[in-house]
Amino acid sequence: MTSPSQVEEALAGGRLTIDLAALQANWRAMREASGDAATAAVVKSDGYGLGIEPVARALQAAGCGTFFVALPDEGRRVREAIGEAEIFVLAGLTGDNARAYRHAGLAPVLNSSNDVAVWARLAREAETPLPCALHIDTGMNRLGLTPAEADDLAADAAALAALAPTLVMSHLACADEPDHPLNGEQLARFKAAARQFPGVRRSLANSAGVFLGADFHFDLTRPGIALYGGECVVGMPAHTQPVATLEGRILQVREAKRAESVGYGATHVLDRDSRIAVVGVGYGDGYPRAASGSGVPMSTAGSGAVGAIGGHRAPVLGRVSMDLTAFDVTDVPEPVLEKAEWVELIGRTIPVDEAARAAGTIGYELLTHLGRRYVRHYVGDTKNGN
């Protein structure tokens, strides 16, 4: 299946192919890894950059019935795309937008005493309990009720009756490092806090948390990056299939001589006679300038990112610019290069986390920064997902 894009392929410098069948397979794999726990899907930040509506529809077709988003507008978009589902909003409840949550059937994740007061007030006005989740901070010191606030709420029968919490949750800070001592500390704190809300479902594990074992699964797991084919545990390959393939159109293949320079700042000087493929993707499309082959400070050591043509790797030369990136295709066999129209920037040959590390970042950031100039193709059967 191919879905139309707002950008025509003939007019685009790059294309992004999203394999919805792989996305569905990844959700099923995470469901299997979650043991007896139910498995939700995190689709925030526009479905990790891949399109929140098609991503949510595909996951629902695979059997997913619970979704997490970051902001209420994302929740509204998911509701309009898929209809019936349980949708939790991780952040953003205010006195100004609480009614919009109720109108769209969204369950806020209550992160503070103020959130609790806002939602309880709306429930009393509506004269009906309103579903929500309670987020208890167990060690990240980001969002979440403090243990003391959770204690106070647990003792407030009237507030609990108004709130009607359907989930109590926390978020792991170091799940991607399985041996980090904070994992065990957070687990113990979460068990103690959740015990105060008997009969309410519990959720702690993100993608990496699923692989910490059954003790972390509780009633509901919340995979995110693993659904999209990204690595979730430090030092381990991705547990799931790649979903996104990003390609740049080859605009020109040119010859350059040894000792000539490439790109802005003349930062890369060729050490041999070379063939250079110039593609129509740059940092204006979300392909990071920090992935440059030279001349840009990066967070990690290395010589920059690599593309691929027909499975043959081709390093980035010089600086990534706003609209263009140069690749060294000298070692790509002539018959392959003659037929090539695209360079793979992310995909099966160049995993998203490899491309991200070359730019000194993480796969999450690279995916969620993908631009709007790409033609987008959605492929894979999303109907037979159960």
Q: Please indicate whether residue 264 is annotated as part of the active site.
A: yes
- Is the Cβ–Cβ distance between 204 and 173 less than 8 Å? no
**CA contacts within 13 A on the Cβ side of 245:** 18
- Burial of residue 179, with CB atoms counted within 10 A of its CB: 0-12 exposed, 13-18 middle, 19 or more buried: exposed
Beta strands in the chain (DSSP E): 14-19, 38-39, 41-42, 66-69, 86-89, 107-110, 132-135, 165-169, 201-203, 220-221, 244-256, 261-262, 268-269, 274-279, 306-309, 312-317, 325-328, 342-346, 375-379
**DSSP annotation of 208:** H
Rounded CA-CA distance 301/73 in Å is 39
Q: Which of 101, 191, 228, 264 is catalytic?
A: 264
Q: Which residue has the tokens 């209809």?
A: 83
CA 15 to each of CA 82, 103, 108, 276, 341: distance values in angstroms, whole numbers, following the listed order = 26, 37, 35, 20, 11
> Which residues partner with 203 through β-bridges?
169, 220
Active-site residue, 48 included: no
Catalytic residues: 44, 264
